[in-house]
Amino acid sequence: MRNSEGRRDWSWLASPCWPIASRLILLLVFAALLALPIPTAQAAGCTHYDVDVDGSPLYVIVPKRNFVSGEHIVYKDQDCQIPEYRDVFNPSIAFAKRGRKAMEICEVNESQPVSQVSGAGMDNTYYCDVGKRKGPRRQRRQHLFRMQFHGDAQGALAYCKELSRGKPNHSQPNHVEGPTRRHSNWDCYRVWKVNKKYLERVGA
């Protein structure tokens, strides 16, 4: 309903002729909508991020920006009430479901250029590898794994894909880089392009 000024008029809810049960239902619906959680960062709060030497889980309190860097307390309970020790997160860790989002979190929060993201060992955790960024300006990358292979780049990529069978599509390699002076293995990557808005968002 709208009043004479064209604005919505909610006074009908208080009208005596409106059934009490109906008003109660509407109020409950409004309360439920207000109680819905506001979308927040992927892993904000006490989050499982690693395992101890004996295999027991370790937790850390992750801020809403999904980025942990520097010195933090590591906990041994899922409520982050029982401290285990202090640890220095270097390189920094981004918490995200995919490497793409992790890369964005790293670039937004790191003061240095981010060359790539790489798995930190647990699901949804990624290291922010800082340093000179490789590839074109709009290319971003996730380092998947390193492997031994004797052959050319085409064969190496095929072997990367073979080793990645069963993994999610967003973790499938589509790029390889060959042996260097430092090592004789091949690196398997997932690379993608970003748009202008992304570059503005991360300040790149």
DSSP string, 109-159: H-SS-EEEEEE-SSTTEEEEEESSPPSSTTEEEEEEEEE---S-HHHHHHH
Going by pLDDT thresholds of 50, 70 and 90, the confidence category of residue 169 is confident
Q: Bigger pLDDT: 79 or 5?
A: 79
Phi, psi of 106 (to 5 degrees): -60, -45
pTM of this prediction? 0.73
Residue 131: closest CA among 146, 116, 109: 116
Distance from C-alpha of 16 to C-alpha of 22, rounded to nearest angstrom = 12
Give residue 15's pLDDT band: very low, low, confident or very high (50, 70, 90). Answer: low
pLDDT value for 116? 95
**pLDDT of amino acid 170:** 86
What does the mean pLDDT of the chain come to? Answer: 82
Strand partners, 200: none
Task: State yes or no: pLDDT of 119 exceeds 70.
Answer: yes
pLDDT at position 180 is 73
pLDDT above 70 (res 49)? yes
Instruction: Tell me which of 2-11, 49-58, 131-140, 152-161 is least confident.
Output: 2-11
* pLDDT at residue 79 in the model: 93
At residue 176, does pLDDT exceed 90? yes
**Bridge partners of residue 57, in order along the sequence:** 51
How are beta strands 125-130 and 114-119 bridged, if at all? antiparallel
Do 62 and 95 contact (CB within 8 A), yes or no?
yes
Q: Average pLDDT for residues 84-112, to the nearest whole number?
A: 92
Element (H, E) at 22: helix 20-35
Place of tokens 């009908």: 12
7-11, 174-178, 181-185: least confident range: 7-11
